[in-house]
Amino acid sequence: MLPFVEPFMTIILESSKNALANELLRWLSWLITAALLASAVVVRPDLFAGIITGKQWALEVATPGALACCLLFITTDRRISLTLTDVAVGMLALWVTASDGLLHPGHYQPMGDTIFNVSLWLLIYLFMRLASWQRHFTTAAIGLWLAVALIISAWGLLQLYGLAPSQHALFRITGPFHNPGPFSGYVVAALPLALAVIIGTKTLVPPKHACRSITILKHHFLLPTTAEGVGRILLKYISIGVVIALLLVIPAARSRAAWLAAITGALFVAWVHPRTQRTRWMIWSIFKQWPMAVRTLVIMGGLVLLMSVGWGMYALKSGSADGRWLMWQVTGTLIAQSPVVGHGAGAFDALYMNAQADWFQSGNGTAAQVLVAGSPEAPFNELLKLWLQYGAVAIALTLGIMWAVMTSKPVETPQARFLVRRSLMNRGLKGALLSLLVFGLFSYPFDMAPHMLLLVMATAMLAGNRRPVMTLSHHRATNVVITGTIATVIAMAVAYMPQRMAHYAALKKWQEATQCYDMRRYDDAVELYASALHPLSNNGLFLQMYGKALNMAGNYTHSNDILAIANKNHNSYIIHNTMGDNHKALGNTAEAARAYQNAAAMVPGMMFPKYLLAVLYRDTGQTVKAVETANQVLTMPVKVQSMATDEIISEMKKIISSYKQ
């Protein structure tokens, strides 16, 4: 029988309607999983930041299918089992919701946004959790994960060789992402999975019922004779392709965080494999037999090697490493202000730049940090960001989830069949999870939907490997859960669907407004920004750009009103520079000087705010202050030589020379 016919023949030959329904549900769950993973390659140029928001949109479009599958799973299986991981995930979701709703109500992010985000990821977690015990589902999900990673890796290779356009003018390799960092973090998580599949797929043996001719063909051409054989071989070949593609593309992407993540995940898969236990024991036995002096030299040599590798990775992009260290230190000062419960969602955007200004004004900043200080969009460490937003409680719950997942053991049951042994898939998923977490210690992957999806998928598929702590099997209890779930879902869909449609319509207008601004059609840009204001009224970046457009259109008072709101959620030096320009145009010299000084304090290594301050002093007749500020600008080191910096230096020299005359 042809391998592609066998799955359909299996469905037809099943005797009961339940078997047919289960088979169709299994195929539907595969399709929904493919749609969720495919969101990583979606780019929508019609949306603002369409490389990022397009992926979120695609994920949300696929989510109703996941919801339908969840309801079908619950109604067809009256047993609802909860593991320790499920309980910890639920507690974390409750804490995040309670934190934003009760402890920090609407400080930096609307409560509705928090509820939507928590519900979205809980729904996807529930879908993956319920589907993971379907026949062959985990293997299929891993295969789809690897296939998407292979496509994205191939995309990066095409960009590397100039055969496909990059998504960023400054980088050759981005894949469908906006820079090499997210690209590397996404594809590298597939390496442990691919290695586990390569190690775990068995050599195919011809079935006893296969005819002699098919057996001969398989023997000579390595053709499998069953659908499961086709799936197993295809999965192994995809895994080999992933490993080869990653070896080619990861070094070219130059992401040190991705290298560390890849090494961690690969070493984990190799370390926990049963075949390495004997090897490790033999190496340890030989090592113990060596003299103490030799063992000491070996240990010291290993430490020197590790330090040399670490120094080499630091020296490769020392400025980037120094910048991350500055961000972590400044973020630490914010965490110390509320270490237990945090500051709430959106706290980094709202608080970081003022904290960085305080850091330098208090004398903590070094000369090297002055050069690398900027206006970051994230602290480049997911644990620090979680701690900043939701406190040590969230950190404890997250570590509890990771402990429950990483210490889980696979459960082999006759009901759950897998093309690859579940123990090997379990190791691969744990390695992928470790890779994501290590990458998250040096970047911000979980701000993007595709990376968060991988984290939720891996956690959910591993969650069932622990013994249930609670099982609801009574019909009444289950009916209550099902009825409550359906009612809640319908209510949330009615509430949030119009809101999400309005959100993406506003993103379209935002993109059109940005294009008008770039073409210097400021009045048109202001009109488009105003039409998108209501759905995006809490988006600090949107308000910043709206305020800047109002400034360029000459509406200085309204610009300051919008920027004052933006400053609460998205504090940045651009906002203060623009407010300074507005106050200068309105004749408010003291307020303008204060705004420029705030901007200069946030990024002390940037010339532009002090340049604006010096020009303000010159134009208002404050000659002494103008010359003093101009001298400060001239003594600043130039980060990047450009026409803009040359013009600034030339203007500062004119101010000084005019004073001498």
This prediction's pTM: 0.88
pLDDT of 44: 94
pLDDT tens for each residue of 353-392: 999 999 999 988 888 888 888 889 899 999 999 999 999 9
Residue 556 pLDDT exceeds 90: yes
Placement of tokens 């991981």 in the chain? 85
- Average pLDDT on 37-44 reads 95
Q: Where does residue 396 rank: exposed (0-12), middle (13-18), buried (19+ CB within 10 A)?
A: middle
Would you tell me how many other CB atoms lie within 10 Å of the CB of residue 498? 10
Buried-exposed string 178-201: b where 16+ CB fall within 10 A, e elsewhere: bbbbbbbbbbbbbbbbbbbbbbbb
**Domain 502-660 fold:** 1.25.40
Residue 320 pLDDT exceeds 50: yes
Establish how many alpha carbons lie within 13 A of residue 267's alpha carbon, considering only the half-sphere containing its beta carbon: 10
Give the domain ranges of the chain: 502-660
Placement of tokens 């002699």 in the chain? 212
Identify which of 209, 200, 206, 195 has the alpha carbon closest to the alpha carbon of residue 229.
Answer: 206
- Average pLDDT on 16-43 reads 84
3-class SS at 472? strand
What gap in Å lies between CA 653 and CA 290, rounded to an integer? 70
Regarding predicted confidence, which is higher, 467 or 514? 514
Residue 208 pLDDT exceeds 70: no
pLDDT tens for each residue of 456-482: 999 999 998 878 887 766 555 556 666
pLDDT of 593: 94
